[in-house]
Every structure is written in structure tokens, then in C-alpha cells.
Structure 1
């Protein structure tokens, strides 16, 4: 199996926008992480799925870098890493099934067709 058509379409500025949005959402309220991935897909439908994963990992790393290990805020970092891991698993499943592209909008289609976790989270 080959991951074909992996899209890298965004500028660094756009990736920064997604990353900042992720950080703001993680800290917006205690459950902000629940809608984060769904919101990213909705707000940036042309983003590559791996770009969404990358932004989540960068957001998680930024939180880790700015809070000590005992800070309750570090839990937000773990949530962002978890979301990135789940999105990457969805990308793998999409490639295994076939018929899906590699953009955020394709991820939303996959969720509707096969895995509603992020739609109901």
C-alpha cells in the first residue's frame, strides 16, 4: 500500500494560523479539544490531512514547552498529541480503503462514511 497524493498545500503562515487556532481552542474551555479536529477540517477544508496532523503536533509541543510537567495545562498537550495520532490512523485507513483524497474535506467524507468518532466527539 502506498500513500499517494499526500497534499502539502499550505504556507508556513497558514500552518501557523492552524496551530494558533489549535492552541486557543485547547485552552478555550475544558472540553475545547473535543471539537478541535472537526473544527480544523471545517475551517481549512483544503488543508492536507498531514498538515492538520502537523499543526496538532506543533500545538502540543508548544504547550509542552511552555508549561512545566506538573502543570494542569500539560493535559491539553496530551489531548493534542492524541488527536494527531487518531487523525493519522484515519489517514492510514483512508489509504487502505482507497477512493479518498488527502485533504481535510476528504477526511470529513471518511468520517461520514466509515468512522463517526470525530463527528460525535
Structure 2
């Protein structure tokens, strides 16, 4: 199932503006929900959401939310670079999920 940029950005902004879920967990949920999405679309969604929050809202809570989104976008980018270095598939969100399951569970829930 593919996802539009608008749908992904809406999902991210909703979390940025709520106290119910953290962004780190959301990133893992995004790749699980839309495994065929481009891995770069995840970064794009995070960056666009951060920019939208910075532009539309003021105050320390909004600033922190935007900073968190920028940080998550950067961390996903670092993982994509590492996947490239290791000659692993790195085109889709599903590729990110596979990498995280095998190498780095930062965005995934703890194992039971």
C-alpha cells in the first residue's frame, strides 16, 4: 500500500502536536504501516512536518516538537547511509524495517 506525502505528513504532525505518542515510536510505525513507501519519503515527511510546525506555531513546545522531527529525519538518514555502506537494500521503508530488526531497534518497540 502506498501513501501520499500529505497522508504521511498529517500522521507525523498529529503526533508532533499531541502528548499521546512519541515520534521515535511513530517512525517505526510508519515503516511498518507503509513498507512499500520510499525510504526517502520517511525523511521527507519528517522534514516537512518539522518545517510546518516551525512555521505555523510558536513557543517552546512547538520548537521542541520540530527539533525532534528534524532529529528523527537525521537519524533515518544516518541509517540509510549505513545500509548503503553495508551494501544492503535501502530503497523502501520495508528495507529500513528489515535493517532495524537486524541491526538497530531504536525506532522499534522493545522485544518481549
With normalisation by structure 2, the TM-score equals 0.88
CA contact (8 A) 2:39 2:90 kept: no
- The offset of 1:99, in angstroms, is 2.7
Structure 1 residues without counterparts, runs of 5 or longer: 1-9
Give the number of aligned pairs: 109
1:103 maps to 2:92: yes
Tell me which of 101, 108, 112 is aligned to 1:112.
Answer: 101
Q: CA deviation at 1:30?
A: 5.8
Structure 1: 4+ residue segments shifted above 4 A: none
TM-score of the superposed pair, with normalisation by structure 1: 0.82
Query: 5+ residue gaps in structure 2?
Result: none
The Cα offsets for residues 77-121 of structure 1, whole Å up to 9 and x where unpaired, read as 000000000000000000000132410001010011111111147
CA drift at 1:31: 4.3
2:81 to 88, 92, 100: 92
Which residues of 2 match residues 1-121 of structure 1 at below 5 A? 14-29=4-19, 31-68=21-58, 70-120=59-109
Counterpart CA distance in 1 for 2:6 and 2:106 is: 26
